[in-house]
């Protein structure tokens, strides 16, 4: 069920922000930038992430899933997807960070998705 939720969120991020662009997951162990190395599945809390990265660009399932837009330097691009809005300007951004949390607020898994 949780894998399905992550897949749905990844699809929404792609559909909302990057209508015709290709995406592909970036393997965190191989190419995750140093600024995101603090993310540890099963250990990092939602509050610690928000303190470090700021407000997410997207929130889903009562903040169980958060997304952040990142540029090519892996810097967080500010801006949120407001309720009822269908898109954000993704012209310069190249990555979306998708974070899935458990009921206890601890990061269960994360994925960095590259847009082409």
* pLDDT score for 28: 47
Beta bridge partners of 107: 101
* pLDDT score for 114: 84
* pLDDT score for 47: 95
* pLDDT score for 95: 87
Q: How many C-beta atoms lie closer than 10 Å to residue 28's C-beta?
A: 17
* pLDDT score for 18: 45
In this prediction the pTM is 0.65
C-alpha triplet 35, 105, 90: angle, nearest 5°: 45
Beta bridge partners of 60: 65
Sign of CA dihedral 19, 20, 21, 22: positive
Residue spans of the chain under pLDDT 50: 15-23, 28-30
Structure tokens at 35: 């600024």
Q: Write down the mean pLDDT value for the chain.
A: 75
What 8-state DSSP symbol labels residue 22? -
Q: Of 114, 115, 112, 113, nearest to 41 (Cα)?
A: 112
């Amino acid at each position: 069920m949780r894998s399905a939720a992550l897949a749905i969120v990844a699809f929404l991020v792609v559909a909302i922000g990057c209508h015709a662009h290709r995406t592909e997951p970036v393997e965190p162990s191989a190419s995750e930038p140093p600024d995101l190395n603090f993310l540890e599945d099963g250990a990092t809390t939602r509050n610690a992430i928000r303190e470090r990265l700021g407000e997410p660009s997207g929130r889903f399932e009562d903040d169980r899933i958060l997304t952040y837009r990142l540029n090519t330097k892996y810097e967080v691009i500010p801006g949120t997807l407001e309720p009822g809005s269908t898109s954000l300007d993704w012209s310069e951004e190249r990555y979306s960070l998708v974070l899935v949390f458990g009921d206890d607020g601890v990061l269960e898994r994360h994925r960095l998705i590259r847009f082409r």
